[in-house]
Amino acid sequence: MNELTIGLACAGAFFILLSFFLPDKQRQLEKEIEELSMKMLQEHYQFNKKLKVLEEELLIGETPAVHTEKPAAVNKIIQSQVIALYEQGTPIAQIAAQSSLSTEQVKSILDENMQTESSSI
């Protein structure tokens, strides 16, 4: 009876030691699921990115009819500031941003100024 107990204890110890060296299938499965999840997230991100590009292209192709309304007159003080900034060498885009005007409005102010200067000479 003693020998049987010792034999079973040795076999139990052997199996416990063996379990430390065998590969853990659950960890492998968890790694595979994590990799698959990351791959799905990346593909989802790329798909959304491509979808946004396509939507933008479709929106660009469907430009609605533009109403040609005459913009409101620009204040004389703003006009003089636009001209002063242009004469200082400030780019038109920056002038538009600083004066809260569109680039077209800035260009029209500058064109009007050029015309009045050339007619006064």
Q: Per the domain annotation, does 12 fall within a domain? A: no
Q: How many domains does the chain have?
A: 2
Where among 13, 34, 60 does a domain terminate?
60
> Same structural domain for residues 114 and 82?
yes
> Same structural domain for residues 55 and 83?
no
DSSP three-state, residue 103: helix
pLDDT of residue 68: 54
> Same structural domain for residues 52 and 87?
no
Q: Is the pLDDT higher at 103 or at 120?
A: 103
Q: Per the domain annotation, does 104 fall within a domain? A: yes
CA distances to 78, 91, 96, 110, 120 from 105, rounded to whole Å, are 11, 14, 8, 9, 23
Whether residue 38 is predicted with pLDDT greater than 80 in this model: the reply is yes
> Same structural domain for residues 90 and 116?
yes
> Same structural domain for residues 115 and 84?
yes
How does pLDDT run across 40-94, given as a tens digit for each residue? Answer: 999 999 999 999 988 888 887 665 555 555 556 677 888 888 888 888 988 888 8
Kind plus residue range of the DSSP H or E element containing 43: helix 25-61
Q: Per the domain annotation, does 101 fall within a domain? A: yes
Give the confidence band of 11 by pLDDT, cuts at 50, 70, 90: very high
Residues 7, 11: Cα–Cα separation, whole Å: 6
Domain residues for the domain of 115 are: 76-120
**Sequence-separated (6 or more) residues with CB below 8 Å from residue 79:** 109, 113
Q: Per the domain annotation, does 4 fall within a domain? A: no
pTM of this prediction? 0.39
